[in-house]
Amino acid sequence: MKDMRLPPAMLIAVLLSAALLVVACVTPTAPEGASDGSTTGLYARIVTAANPVRLEMARDAPIVGLLWHGMRLPVTGRNMTWEWLKVKLPPSLSSFGAEGWIVGPPEFALIEGGGCADIPLQMPVPTPAG
């Protein structure tokens, strides 16, 4: 029977990735300006230099704009794996629609005002063929 154990370096990488996801999704932070600890909704705060906004939740989907480090957008949904977040677009990108998809926690954006469990699940809507 073949040995199915992971090499130690790969096991450590997997465990660290899981820990980062737990910290990014479970540890709620109060939104800026909420000094009394109250929350005003769920927000994604961009933590990379730039995060592309896409029309659909796919890395090869058309990019409709870029979000910059520190920007905060209201979160309206997520996919089943919490990799993608559906966000309300700022007025500068609203000509492409009211909402778009970004890669979320933990590498591109952090959740403020709640945790990942508070974000409603959004099932993808198939794009019509043709």
What contacts 24+ positions apart, CB below 8 Å, involve 92-100?
A: 92/65, 93/53, 93/64, 93/65, 96/53, 96/55, 96/64, 96/65, 97/55, 97/64, 100/53, 100/54, 100/55, 100/64, 100/65
Phi, psi (deg, nearest 5) at residue 94: -70, -15
Q: Which domains does the chain have, with CATH numbers?
A: 34-118 (2.30.30.40)
**Can you give the pTM of this predicted structure?**
0.66
pLDDT in tens, 52-99: 999 999 999 999 889 999 999 999 999 988 899 999 998 887 776 789
